[in-house]
Structure 1
């Protein structure tokens, strides 16, 4: 990662694993804007964004289906909790279908969190974990829990028909749920997870992952669709602008 731009992403505690994928932070200590390209990764991000001289902003970012170039101004300190889709219904408790490829700014009193208490990453990790734990539901539909577990463990490669059979939930009902709560079909979401799985291969220089792409051309088209560049260019990751790939290279 470029010196002066610091980032960290840690996994959640085991009791949050069905709902949270990671908890992280980044800080731009550079004298200039830091260019980053956000890639579709199947997560729903809740940002606590602090820019010098401005009040804290709390921003909920929906699922992405295309790459987006952004610029992080100098001095920005941000904390983020990245949710798995199951959290949309059970933790956030409202649909995000309307914010695919966009974001919604939330009130500063969201969840009654005090940003001034986030003195460092460890304090944020503990306080945001405690808050989400307090919001955990007493009941979760086991069909949905199993569905998302299988989608994640298979990196989106399990066929819809098989997911339906193993959850006892019809494909029509699953797609209705996905479109209502997330704004995407199940197939579209699985395609994003499959692209994301390919990133760990690309980060290691393997430009044709052994995933269920029909051929090299299909793979290149999918990577370009979701990243804006071909696999070879993505692997180069000039100026560490593809932050997700930078994280994978370090892991």
Structure 2
């Protein structure tokens, strides 16, 4: 598999976190890619002659779709060659740009072909005509830039600020203090955060903590499991194991020795 992290224009910020391209020309190989909770929804376009399926649901995915927050562990399965382009989006993007209720597509997706507009039809046609990944990234970037230009004043500045504070603290922050810093009561903060992201602030912070621990385990940047536990703000080892297993289906030890 060939993987690329694509640089993108600042005009896409703060809505796009990253752009990734996954490719393979192997025609007789089955590819399984695990995906775990990371706090970020996304937009995906894929060209897969034999289809792209999400397990354990065994659901065949549309060619161009928005996916919501991944909470339960999933696995993408592809047989044969493929090209996947993924725009990782900041959590408030679904509501602000696409007018999708984020909570409605947690662990689910929204088929963009359902958007019967001239712009959508033009993009779908252009994507199918040009198989160069860089051209496709440019087309999708242009599509998102137009949405940003039309709707950039619609996003919730307080929740945008709160998300950045939680990310900067790697999930290890007082959410009561975060609410105060963005001048919201605890109840209003939770309601607006859920509306914008599909998650409660506590859920989002826990996912960010988990993701940082997952990265640490993946690159083996630790001397002992206890280091990972306390560096990522978990109360104790049993708490860490419980959270980790809820998001991956495996204990940390099983994940390390896989």
TM range (shorter): 0.7 to 0.9
CA distance in 2 between counterparts of 1:184 and 1:94 reads 14
Q: Does residue 96 in structure 1 map to residue 111 in structure 2?
A: no
CA distance in 2 between counterparts of 1:220 and 1:53 reads 37
Aligned partner of 2:45 among 43, 48, 53: 48
The 8 Å contact of residues 166 and 205 in structure 2, kept in 1 or not, is answered as yes
SS at structure 2 position matched to 1:98: helix
Query: Deviation at 1:21?
Result: 1.0
The 8 Å contact of residues 45 and 85 in structure 2, kept in 1 or not, is answered as yes
SS at structure 1 position matched to 2:235: coil
Unaligned runs of 5+ in 2: 52-60
What's 2:12 paired with?
A: 16
Query: Deviation at 1:86?
Result: 2.0
Superposed CA RMSD: 2.4
- Between stretches 127-136 and 160-169, larger displacement belongs to 127-136
The CA deviation string for residues 136-177 of structure 1, in whole angstroms up to 9 with x for no partner, is: 234244212211211221122222101101101222122212
The CA deviation string for residues 27-60 of structure 1, in whole angstroms up to 9 with x for no partner, is: 2433222122211111112111222277971122
CA distance in 2 between counterparts of 1:166 and 1:86 reads 19
CA distance in 1 between counterparts of 2:43 and 2:66 reads 5
CA distance in 1 between counterparts of 2:130 and 2:174 reads 42
What's 1:58 paired with?
A: 64
TM-score of the superposed pair, with normalisation by structure 1: 0.82
The structure showing larger relative contact order (alpha-carbon pairs under 8 Å, at least 6 residues apart) is 1
The 8 Å contact of residues 127 and 139 in structure 2, kept in 1 or not, is answered as no
Q: Does residue 129 in structure 1 map to residue 141 in structure 2?
A: yes
Aligned partner of 1:81 among 76, 83, 87: 87
Unaligned runs of 5+ in 1: 239-251
Q: Does residue 174 in structure 1 map to residue 189 in structure 2?
A: yes
Give the 3 Å change call, closer, same or farther, for CA 183–34 of structure 1 in structure 2.
Answer: same
The CA deviation string for residues 62-117 of structure 1, in whole angstroms up to 9 with x for no partner, is: 10112113312211222111111121222222212111112222217673412135
What's 2:179 paired with?
A: 164
Q: Does residue 219 in structure 1 map to residue 234 in structure 2?
A: no
Residue pairs, 1:106-117, within 5 angstroms: 106-107=112-113, 111=120, 112-113=122-123, 114-116=126-128
Aligned partner of 1:72 among 78, 93, 97: 78
TM-score of the superposed pair, with normalisation by structure 2: 0.80
CA distance in 2 between counterparts of 1:150 and 1:13 reads 23
What's 1:233 paired with?
A: 254
